[in-house]
């Protein structure tokens, strides 16, 4: 599916839930404990309630989910949003649109510009390069030397290590969410109209 096509037009995306979110009454003790102790489950209830059907997958995600502060929040959110768009994962896009605007690190207008990508006039050269890095990872599974050099002008080694890990992590989540058919919560804002 090309970016911009709706999920209903896509034959490669589940148009409805293939695995339903686990209702409280069907959860066993282990599943209830996992849902109660993981604070991020409250932000994305449908996804985590699907994933908790496999407690080992849930624990694996939660163990790797912790976001450290090496990469600035704005940069992190721009990478998450662009990855969600490129993978056509409306669920991740909706979650990070709400989160990033709620934190005040990305404006509503900039969320819309993420869809256009690095060529959008809204972006400063640094931000365009960051979005370009996401696109290169998505398209070629590698950041080019030119893009890397610009990243290295601002980022230290720790931050450089994180860039492909952040993008790759959201690819992994998109693969799962798109395949499970995780649906947006009621009232959630999905992709912008383009």
Domains of the chain with CATH codes: 27-66 (no CATH), 73-180 (1.20.1290.10)
Inter-CA distances, 132 with 11, 92, 111, Å: 27, 19, 16
Asked whether the beta carbons of 92 and 177 are under 8 A apart, the reply is yes
Confidence band for 40, pLDDT divided at 50, 70 and 90:
low
pLDDT band at 39 (very low <50, low <70, confident <90, very high): low
Report whether pLDDT(121) > 70.
Answer: yes
Between 66 and 191, whose confidence is greater?
A: 191
Range in 55-64, 90-99, 114-123, 142-151 with the lowest mean pLDDT? 55-64
* pLDDT tens digits along 5-21: 444 444 467 788 899 99
Distances (CA, A) of 109 to 90, 114, 116, 164: 17, 9, 11, 26
pLDDT of residue 2: 45
Whether the CB-CB separation of 75 and 67 falls below 8 Å is answered with: no
Mean pLDDT of the 11-38 span: 85
Query: 170 Cβ partners below 8 Å, 6+ apart?
Result: 79, 80, 83, 84, 87, 89, 92
127 secondary structure, DSSP code: H
pTM of full prediction above 0.85: no
């Amino acid at each position: 599916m090309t970016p911009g096509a709706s999920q209903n037009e896509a034959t490669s995306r589940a148009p409805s839930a293939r695995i339903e979110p686990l209702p409280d009454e069907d959860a066993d003790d282990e599943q209830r404990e996992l849902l109660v102790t993981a604070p991020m489950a409250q932000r994305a209830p449908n996804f985590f309630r699907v994933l908790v059907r496999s407690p080992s997958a849930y624990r694996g995600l939660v163990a790797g989910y912790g976001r450290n502060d090496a990469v600035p929040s704005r940069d992190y959110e721009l990478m998450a949003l662009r990855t969600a768009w490129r993978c056509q994962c409306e669920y991740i896009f909706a979650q990070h649109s709400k989160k990033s605007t709620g934190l005040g690190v990305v404006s509503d207008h900039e969320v819309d510009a993420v869809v256009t990508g690095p060529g959008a006039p809204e972006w400063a050269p640094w931000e365009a390069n960051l979005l370009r890095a996401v696109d290169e990872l998505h398209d070629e599974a590698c950041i080019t030397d030119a893009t890397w050099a610009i990243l290295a002008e601002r980022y230290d080694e720790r931050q450089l290590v994180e860039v492909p890990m952040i993008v790759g992590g959201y690819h992994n989540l998109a693969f799962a969410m798109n395949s499970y058919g995780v649906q947006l919560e009621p009232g959630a804002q999905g992709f912008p109209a383009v």
